[in-house]
Amino acid sequence: MASARRPIRVLVAKPGLDGHDRGAKVVAAALRDAGMEVIYTGLHQTPEMIVQAAVQEDVDVVGLSILSGAHLTLFPRVKQLLLQAGRDDVLVTGGGIIPPEDMETLQQRGIGRLFGPGTPTSDLVRYIEEWAAEHVSA
Look up the CATH number of the domain holding residue 28. 3.40.50.280
Quick one: pLDDT at residue 2? Answer: 46
Task: Please check whether residue 109 lies inside any domain of the structure.
Answer: yes
pLDDT tens by residue, 92-119: 999 999 999 999 999 999 999 999 999 9
Count how many domains the chain has: 1
* pLDDT score of 4 more than 70: no
Task: Please check whether residue 138 lies inside any domain of the structure.
Answer: no
Mean pLDDT, rounded, for 54-77: 96
Task: Please check whether residue 4 lies inside any domain of the structure.
Answer: no
**Residue 109 lies in domain:** 9-133
Mean pLDDT, rounded, for 29-42: 97
Mean pLDDT, the chain, integer: 94
Task: Please check whether residue 103 lies inside any domain of the structure.
Answer: yes
Number of CB atoms found within 10 A of residue 29's CB: 14
